[in-house]
Structures are given as structure tokens and as C-alpha cells.
């Protein structure tokens, strides 16, 4: 085996390794040179036929060649792996500076939208959001609100009472009391708030309410917004100013006519219902000056008995409350004709009447619509 012969072999293997374009091709080069039947291995086996110094010299040369070839193959392997990683990173890279996809899929339900809008309007006036449990008892839902046991308003509310076995969900004090029910309005949160914080109070209560009633204009579950303001000198003028401002902001009609019509609620005295001006057109209802009125909420000055029931001295404090149906005001603002469709979970309806999630309603940025 001549030195020329070894040089030729070295060149052949190292060129082949350098030319290999994949780990598999490189491995064939390795097997062809250093594997069991590889060219270098075969030559090593042949050393036995040589004798003495010749074997020693040839052995050293072959070992050197073997190490050199192994090193070249390792280096090529590392280079191929680097290149593969670079190629993968290039295809997997994302451009985080791109704008979000315009065709965002989800839509905000009109009830959530109306809630965000109403909360942002009253939030601007200094109200905070309060919540209470859906499962209530008789006392919070009726008695404390000056609706005594035999009062006809209890029948009007078509209450869902819970059977004794269903009361597991009720929290703490409700559990063992008679008359556990699904709240028929958000007004009990007035009571809970007045019991737990001292005036001044300004809260807005969005929430689910339930009545055993189902037809074109009633669903067993619906939503309300309740408001409560208690302070030392809060009066009817504040109530009017606050609610007129709300109507203008919510319906986004600057001069919408607002009318306070005397009414009756057991928990307020005096009580009123609020109507806004509108015109009935061929396409539906147009909010604003017109020859017709639409009722949108109930309100009044909190009854002294209600204050007293919560441990607030009616000689010292007074205030106003209001309540409105969330579906109703959303239907009026957004021209949604049928209440029941709110609860159909029909994706086509949601795509049509729903709102883009990133357009968060605010008084400064626009309420939406």
C-alpha cells in the first residue's frame, strides 16, 4: 500500500464527505470508509500480512488517516445540522409586528355589549359595579324591599321557588331558610349593599334574573341593571338628571325627549317610570323626537322602610334607585326584533348582531352601534 494510494483514498473520502448533502448521504460515506467492510477498515485488516517495521509504519499511517476522516465526517455532520436548523427557523419564524387578523372570529353578545356600555356610562358618573347571588331568599328578594308576604307584587313576579333538595347551591345563610328562590329582579343587591357598606353609596348592578314566564316577550331568564344612590341630601332632581344623562349617552341621541311618568313600586316613594321619545317607522323604531313614547325603566326615591330594613336611618339618609331590562334596552338600541333570539345560541344571529371584541365601549372612544 503506497503513500500515493493512501493520499488518493484520503481525497476520495474527504471529497465525498464534503459533497454529502444530507445526514443519510454522509452516513453512507462513513460506512463506506470506517464501517465493518469500509475501505479503511479493510486496509487495517490487511496489516497482518505485512511484517515488522512495514506493518508499524503502515499501521500509523492508516490510524492517522482514520482519525482525519472521522474528524472530517464529524465536522460535515455539524455543518449539515446547523444548516438544517437554520432552514427550519426560517420557515417557522413569525412576524410579531404584523397586525392581528382582520377577520377575527368571535363576536360579543349584545347583552355583554349593553352591559359594557351601561357600566361605562354609570362608571363615568362615579358608580361602581356590585353583584349578588342568583339564588336568593324571600327576605332579600321581597320582604326587605317592602313587599310583604301577601303583597300582590309577589304573584306578579312569577317566582321560581327552589325545592328543599335543590338548595345545596345557596350560600351560607340562605340554605336553611324557607322561601329559597331564583331572584326575580336585581333589587335584592340594593339590600345586600346597604347592609354591608355605609353611605355614600353609588352602585350599578348588572345581573341575571328569573321569572316563570315564557312567551314572545318573556324568557324564564333575562338580565337587569339596577342602580342605587344613597347620601344625606340626594333628591329627585339628582335622580332625574342622572337618568336623563344616561338616556342621552346610551341611545347616543343628544336631545332625546325623556318623560317621568308617576308609577308605583313598593320599594320606592315616590316612584316613576321613564319613557323616551320615538317614532315608529316602517323599518322599526327610531329613538329621538317623535310622537310616541317607549317605557325603558322604573325608578324612585328609596322607601324609608327599605332604608330602615337595612339599618340605615331614613331621617339621616335618602337616595334613589332604578331598574331596567338589559334585553329591552339592547333590542331598542340595536333594532333586534325578537327577545327569544338572545338565547337561541344561533351563530348566524351572533355574527349579525354581535360586536367586534376589540372595540371596547367607552364614552370617549364611542359606545358602539
Interface residue list for ligand DAH (CB under 6 A) = 185, 187, 226, 265, 268, 298-300, 321-323
Kindly tell me which of 185 and 192 has the beta carbon lying closer to ligand DAH: 185
Closest CA to 223 of 93, 131, 287: 131
Closest distance to ligand DAH from the beta carbon of 186 (Å): 7
Q: Compute the 3-state secondary structure of the chain and give helix, strand, coil in percent, each to the nearest 5.
A: 45, 20, 30
Cα 87 to Cα 22: distance, rounded to the nearest angstrom? 13
Contact criterion met (CB below 8 Å) for 247 and 272: no
Closest distance to ligand DAH from the beta carbon of 334 (Å): 22
Cα 318 to Cα 233: distance, rounded to the nearest angstrom? 7
Helix (H, G, I), strand (E, B) or coil at 37: coil
Contact criterion met (CB below 8 Å) for 199 and 232: yes
Closest distance to ligand DAH from the beta carbon of 189 (Å): 10
Kindly tell me which of 322 and 353 has the beta carbon lying closer to ligand DAH: 322
Kindly tell me which of 16 and 274 has the beta carbon lying closer to ligand DAH: 274
Helix (H, G, I), strand (E, B) or coil at 369: coil
Cα 203 to Cα 175: distance, rounded to the nearest angstrom? 26
Question: Cell numbers 318573556 label which residue?
Answer: 218
Kindly tell me which of 113 and 190 has the beta carbon lying closer to ligand DAH: 190
Closest distance to ligand DAH from the beta carbon of 258 (Å): 16
Closest distance to ligand DAH from the beta carbon of 93 (Å): 57
Closest distance to ligand DAH from the beta carbon of 354 (Å): 27
Torsion 275-277-281-286 (CA) sign:
negative
Kindly tell me which of 265 and 317 has the beta carbon lying closer to ligand DAH: 265
Kindly tell me which of 26 and 302 has the beta carbon lying closer to ligand DAH: 302
Q: Please identify the residue of the shown chain whose CB is closest to the bound ligand DAH.
A: 323
Amino acid at each position: 500500500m503506497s503513500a500515493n494510494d493512501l493520499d488518493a483514498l484520503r481525497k476520495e473520502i474527504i471529497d465525498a464527505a464534503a459533497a454529502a448533502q444530507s445526514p443519510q448521504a454522509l452516513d453512507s460515506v462513513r460506512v463506506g470508509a470506517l464501517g465493518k467492510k469500509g475501505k479503511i477498515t479493510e486496509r487495517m485488516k490487511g496489516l497482518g500480512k505485512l511484517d515488522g517495521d512495514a506493518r508499524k509504519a503502515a499501521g500509523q499511517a492508516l490510524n492517522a488517516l482514520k482519525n482525519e476522516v472521522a474528524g472530517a465526517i464529524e465536522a460535515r455532520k455539524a455543518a449539515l445540522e446547523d444548516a438544517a436548523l437554520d432552514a427550519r427557523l426560517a420557515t417557522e419564524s413569525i412576524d410579531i409586528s404584523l397586525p392581528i387578523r382582520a377577520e377575527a372570529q368571535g363576536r360579543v353578545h349584545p347583552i355583554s355589549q349593553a352591559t359594557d356600555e351601561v357600566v361605562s356610562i354609570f362608571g363615568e358618573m362615579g358608580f361602581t359595579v356590585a353583584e349578588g347571588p342568583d339564588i336568593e331568599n324571600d327576605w332579600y328578594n321581597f320582604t326587605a324591599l317592602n313587599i310583604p308576604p301577601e303583597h300582590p307584587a309577589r304573584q306578579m313576579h312569577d317566582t321560581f321557588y327552589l325545592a328543599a333538595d335543590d338548595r345545596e347551591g345557596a350560600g351560607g345563610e340562605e340554605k336553611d331558610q324557607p322561601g329559597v328562590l331564583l331572584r326575580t329582579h336585581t333589587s335584592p343587591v340594593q339590600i345586600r349593599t346597604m347592609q354591608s357598606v355605609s353611605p355614600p353609596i353609588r352602585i350599578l348592578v348588572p345581573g341575571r334574573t328569573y321569572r316563570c314566564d315564557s312567551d314572545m316577550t318573556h324568557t324564564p331568564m333575562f338580565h337587569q341593571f339596577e342602580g342605587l344612590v344613597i347620601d344625606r341630601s340626594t333628591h329627585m332632581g339628582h335622580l332625574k338628571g342622572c337618568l336623563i344623562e344616561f338616556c342621552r349617552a346610551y341611545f347616543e341621541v343628544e336631545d332625546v325627549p325623556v318623560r317621568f311618568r308617576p308609577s308605583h313600586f313598593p320599594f320606592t316613594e315616590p316612584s316613576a317610570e321613564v319613557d323616551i321619545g320615538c317614532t315608529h317607522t316602517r323599518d322599526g323604531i327610531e329613538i329621538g323626537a317623535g310622537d310616541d313614547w317607549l317605557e325603558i325603566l322604573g325608578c324612585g326615591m328609596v322607601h324609608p322602610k327599605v332604608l330602615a330594613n337595612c339599618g340605615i336611618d331614613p331621617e339621616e339618609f335618602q337616595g334613589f334607585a332604578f331598574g331596567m331590562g338589559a334585553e329591552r334596552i339592547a333590542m331598542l338600541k340595536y333594532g333586534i326584533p325578537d327577545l327569544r333570539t338572545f338565547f337561541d345560541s344561533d351563530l348566524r344571529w351572533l355574527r349579525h348582531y354581535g360586536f367586534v371584541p376589540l372595540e371596547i365601549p367607552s364614552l370617549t372612544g364611542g359606545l358602539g352601534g
